[in-house]
Homo-oligomer: A and B are copies of this chain.
């Protein structure tokens, strides 16, 4: 085995990857594919006041809390961000995010522009924001109808919300038009790889270069 194939463990800052899109533009599918393909990315686990559904696991899908506990967590500043979504509250606890980023783990957030904005003050240097646009509103509506789970009324409401969500596209650093899931995933993976290659994210480079050319430089 030659020296160039050895890959010593590298130290780096974790990424906080925000993936936003209107409902139906492929965000959940891309998120799932990215998590499957990349062992260094984990999904952020939210706390929610929504009742647990059959099959959902505490601490894996969500932390299930009641309204009083959610209020207490807000009051004591335990959330990175939180929001009302379809009548329930969802929030991201701060502690596990900080621990993961410190360990060079990347965390994926499936949140909207309001959530993304709340991450900026505490986690700006870790933040990578990606917005997925549908190729057309007709295509978006077709995808929502294909799911078959929602009534026409719910779909109309989602289409209205979609336009409001899209309206915030310009607050994101990366913007992708999702015409094809595989091509879109490849772009998201490229963004993740590029962000990891930024000088400022590689916390061991100063030491690496010092060992390379000596401290006198």
Rounded to whole angstroms, the CA-CA distance of A13 and B179 in the bound complex is: 21
| A151 in contact (CB, < 8 A) | no
Contact of A190 among B134, B194, B199, B214 (CB under 8 A): B194
From known contacts A175-B202, A199-B170, infer whether A136 and B3 are also in contact, taking CB-CB under 8 Å: yes
| A57 in contact (CB, < 8 A) | no
List the B residue with the shortest CB-CB distance to A140: B212
From known contacts A197-B176, A217-B163, infer whether A212 and B3 are also in contact, taking CB-CB under 8 Å: no
Interface residues on A, range: 35 or more
Rounded to whole angstroms, the CA-CA distance of A134 and B197 in the bound complex is: 15
Rounded to whole angstroms, the CA-CA distance of A3 and B169 in the bound complex is: 22
Residue of A7, A173, A180, A194 with most partner-chain B CB within 10 A: A194
| A74 in contact (CB, < 8 A) | no
Rounded to whole angstroms, the CA-CA distance of A41 and B66 in the bound complex is: 55
From known contacts A209-B133, A212-B166, A213-B137, infer whether A190 and B179 are also in contact, taking CB-CB under 8 Å: no
How many whole Å from A52's CB to the nearest CB in chain B? 35
Report yes or no: B169 in contact with A205, Cβ–Cβ below 8 A. Answer: yes
| A139 in contact (CB, < 8 A) | yes
Contact of A175 among B138, B190, B197 (CB under 8 A): B197
* In the complex, chain B residues whose CB is within 8 Å of the CB of A212: 133-134, 136-137, 166
List the B residue with the shortest CB-CB distance to A189: B190
List the B residue with the shortest CB-CB distance to A188: B197
Considering only residues 1-20 of chain A, those with a C-beta below 8 Å from chain B are 3-7
Closest 9 CB pairs of A and B: A194-B194, A190-B193, A190-B190, A191-B194, A163-B213, A175-B199, A167-B217, A4-B179, A174-B197
